[in-house]
Amino acid sequence: MVDAKNLSMKYDKGKSLALENVSFSIDRGEFAFFVGSSGAGKSSLMKLIIREEKPHSGTLRVFGRDVSRLPKHRLPYLRRNIGMVFQDFRLMEERTVYDNVAFAMTVIGSSRREIRRRVPHVLGLVGLKDKARAKITDLSGGEQQRVGLARAIANRPAMIIADEPTGNLDPGTALDIMNLLRSINLRGTTVLVATHNREIVDRFKKRVLYLENGRLVGDEQKGIYSHVH
C-alpha cells in the first residue's frame, strides 16, 4: 500500500530536513500509528502520501505507483482512494451532516441515487443516522469528528489517513473515534494514524512507527508508545 525508501524532504526555505532517510512499508489492511512529538515529521509524511508535497530524495510508492512521478491528472485518482481525517475536522459548518458527506461523493461524480443510498449507510456506521439533518455547528466535537470519519469512508477508499484525529477531543470521545477507526480497519481498509496520544497508542497495541527529528527511530509490531522511544 505504502512503500517508502530513503525518503527525505525539506521545506523550501528551511535548511533542516523535515524527513531524513525514512524507509518503511505498509501492507494492505494494516493499522499503523506514526508517533512522535510535534515537529517530528508525522504531518510531513502524510502530505507526501497524498502528494501535497514531493520528496527531496528517495522514493514513495502508494498503491504501487511512485507518487512523485504521478502526473497532475492522476492526483484525483490517488486521493479518491485515500480518506482523510483531520484534527480540525475541516467541515462545511453551515451545512448539514448529510450535505457534508454527500459533498465528498459529489466531488468524485457519484450519482444522486448512489449518494442517497450510501450517505445514510455511512452515517449509520459512525452512529449519526439520527443527526443527518443537523447543522455541523449544532454538534459536539466528537460528533463533528464522526462526520469527518463518515466523509472519509463515503467513497470506500482503500486507505484512511488520520492526522491527529483525537487532538481536540476529550479522552472518552477520543477512544470512541479510535474504536471506529479500528472497526473500519477490520472491514479491510488500511488505516494510518499520526498521533502523540500516548494512552491511545498503548491501549490499541498496533504497529507503531516512531519519528524523531525527521528520522524513523523505531518500528514495532504490537508496540506501545513508551517502548518504542
Asked if residue 76 belongs to a domain, the reply is no
In this model, does residue 207 exceed pLDDT 80?
A: yes
Asked if residue 193 is part of any domain, the answer here is: yes
Residue 19 lies in a domain: no
User: Rounded CA gap, 90 and 113, in Å?
Assistant: 26
Q: Phi/psi at 47 (nearest 5 deg)?
A: -65, -35
CB 169 within 8 A of CB 189: no
Closest CA to 26 of 8, 56, 3, 46: 3
User: Beta strands 82-86 and 31-35: pairing type?
Assistant: unpaired
Number of domains composing the chain? 1
Q: Which CATH number fits the domain that encloses residue 103?
A: 3.40.50.300
Cα–Cα distance for residue pair 200/142, rounded to 1 Å: 16
Residue 24 lies in a domain: no
Q: How confident is the model at residue 229 (pLDDT cuts 50, 70, 90)?
A: very low
20 domain residue, yes or no: no
pLDDT at 222 over 90: no
List pLDDT tens digits, range 7-58. Answer: 999 876 666 789 999 999 999 999 999 999 888 899 999 999 999 999 999 9
Residue 146: pLDDT over 70: yes
Q: Is residue 135 part of a domain?
A: yes
Is position 59 within any domain? Answer: no
Closest CA to 50 of 182, 194, 160: 160
pLDDT tens across 62-121, in order? 999 999 999 999 998 898 899 999 888 899 999 999 999 999 999 989 999 999 999 999
Q: Does the pLDDT at position 223 exceed 90?
A: no
For residue 124, give its domain range: 30-52+82-228
Q: What is the pLDDT of residue 227?
A: 56
* Residue 172 located in a structural domain: yes
